[in-house]
Amino acid sequence: MAALAVFGWICPVAMAQMQLPAGVYAGQLDAGLAPAGDYRLDPDHTAVVAKVSHIGYSYSIFRFGKVTGNLHWDADPVKDTLEATVETASIETPVAGFAAELAGPGYLDSKKYPEARFVSTKFVKVGATEAKVAGNFTLLGKTVPLTFDVMLVGAGKGFMGHARMGAEATANLKTADFGLSPMLGEQVQLVIDAEFGSVK
């Protein structure tokens, strides 16, 4: 422990690791710590959030509670692939009764279009911990190209023999592209914090 301390400071990752049970490893800011292979999204540690203008006064935050996804990860970005699906009816908002309205025909029309889906077409490494992921986003029966800015949060050995990695991704979609209600403003910001566990 003394070797980890410099002028009384201890690396937060090292501190977290010292407090974890045996066989559980803290993530680190190094994508190389996640071995190549197939990963499945962990819905218990994933948040899909939409930020929309509240008629120009503030941003309303909508969260979707049901999401699935698969990632193929490789040291060569050309081989990386990602697909993710969100159940639109799982939308949540603190405004009483508004989630049901948002899932209804005036907005997401979840009975007719129960899912929103993203399928990647290209991964581009921007820096050691940053990338852009381009793909096709489908909502309300319309498919439009969309690019996410992605920032690595952490990667590592994970636990229970399954490596893990997590990232935050952001993108802006134009409401007019999907025929969304103009009440949501000209664009919606998507913020996705996702964690993936390796599949063995």
CATH number of the domain at 46, please. Answer: 2.40.128.110
5 part of a folded domain: no
Q: Of the candidates 44, 78, 76, 49, which has an alpha carbon nearest to the alpha carbon of residue 166?
A: 44
161 part of a folded domain: yes
What is the pLDDT, as a whole number, of residue 7?
Answer: 52
For 137-150, give the DSSP string.
EEETTEEEEEEEEE
What is the pLDDT, as a whole number, of residue 11?
Answer: 64
What is the pLDDT, as a whole number, of residue 123?
Answer: 97
Task: For 5-98, list the strands marked E by DSSP.
Answer: 5-6, 9-10, 37-41, 47-53, 59-64, 67-73, 81-87, 91-92
Domain count, the chain: 1
7 part of a folded domain: no
What is the pLDDT, as a whole number, of residue 12?
Answer: 67
What is the pLDDT, as a whole number, of residue 13?
Answer: 64
- For 90, the enclosing helix (H) or strand (E) is none
188 part of a folded domain: yes
What is the pLDDT, as a whole number, of residue 10?
Answer: 58
Q: 28 is in which domain, residue-wise?
A: 23-198
Amino acid symbol at 95: V
* Pair of tokens at residue 113: 């279009």
What is the pLDDT, as a whole number, of residue 25?
Answer: 85
> Which segments of the chain have a pLDDT < 50?
1-4
Looking up tokens 């120009």 gives 56
